[in-house]
Amino acid sequence: MSTVLVVDDEAPLLRALQINLRAYGYTVLTAASGTAALKSAADTPVDLIILDLGLPDMDGIDVIRALRGWTTTPIIVLSARHASGEKVQALDAGADDYVTKPFGLNELLARVRAATRRASAGSGPARVETADFTVDLAARRLTRGGQPVRLTPTEWKILELLVRNPDRLITHQHLLEQVWGPKYTQETQYLRVYMAQLRRKLEPDPGTPRYLITEAGSGFRFEP
């Protein structure tokens, strides 16, 4: 049973999330401020944190940064802030996912399951298999239908970063920094070109991606 800390200053929403998460088998702790959230996370080990950004005593981004100073516990931001810049800032601060209000409960629960699954998986498998292709991370090999698929070194770096973080949103900036270096974090056109190439090699229908998903204005996600 996973323990979830829900942080939000809207009492009705806090109560609703508490009831629903408990109904699905989660142990739920709650906090209505950033200070209370940090204290709760420090006092009681939790498996996941659902965090609102608009807290009464401090900005949620600062809460994320404070948490990331000592814990790798997955953080899902649940916020009414829709601007892509806000999403990128939260993800770059250390959040694992970002859900905007209003939200569907089923979607949130799916994100919660994905985040806890990643955390329990640790560093992830050395081999990732999908219905259409297999990525052998240890051997640095990609096969499709049993046949090897040739990737350029840059294509492999992008794919490896995504498949090592299944279901997790990887921002444009993070991908660019990891693959090309810190001087290239604004060159998003590079990603458009290389993602198109990867989709042509991997996706059954490159025009409607099944595995390499675009999160508009934010980044990409690998869905196995």
Domain residues for the domain of 114 are: 3-121
For residue 141, give the CATH number of its domain. Answer: 1.10.10.10
pLDDT confidence of residue 125: 58
92 and 32 in a single domain? The answer is: yes
* pLDDT score at 150: 94
| Per-residue pLDDT band at 1 (split at 50, 70, 90) | low
Question: 181 and 74, same structural domain?
Answer: no
Work out the average pLDDT over 108-122.
Answer: 79
Whether 123 shows a pLDDT value over 60: the answer reads no
Q: How far apart are CA 33 and CA 198, in angstroms?
A: 43
Same domain, residue pair 108 and 154: no
Over pLDDT 70: what percentage of the chain? 96
Q: What are phi and psi of 210, to 5 degrees?
A: -100, -30
Condensed to tens digits (0 to 9), the pLDDT of residues 12-53 reads 999 999 999 999 999 999 999 999 999 998 888 889 999 999
Residues 101, 137, single domain; the answer is: no
Mean predicted confidence (pLDDT) in 115-126: 65
Q: pTM for this one?
A: 0.58
Which residue bears the tokens 């640095």? 140
97 shares a domain with 137: no
Q: Are residues 110 and 7 in the same domain?
A: yes
Regarding whether 78 and 136 lie in a shared domain, the answer is no
**Residues 16 and 91 both lie in one domain:** yes
Quote the percentage of the chain above a pLDDT of 90. 55
Query: 191-195 long-range contacts, Cβ below 8 Å, gap at least 24?
Result: 191/158, 191/220, 194/154, 194/155, 194/158, 195/158, 195/220
Do 91 and 132 lie in a common domain? Answer: no
- 19 and 115 in a single domain? The answer is yes
Total tally of structural domains belonging to the chain: 2
Shared domain for 186 and 214, answered yes or no, is yes
Distance (Å, whole) CA 96 – CA 77: 8
pLDDT digits (tens, 9 = 90+) for 169-195: 888 988 888 788 878 888 999 999 999
Last residue of a domain, one of 96, 121, 146: 121
Whole-number pLDDT of residue 183: 81
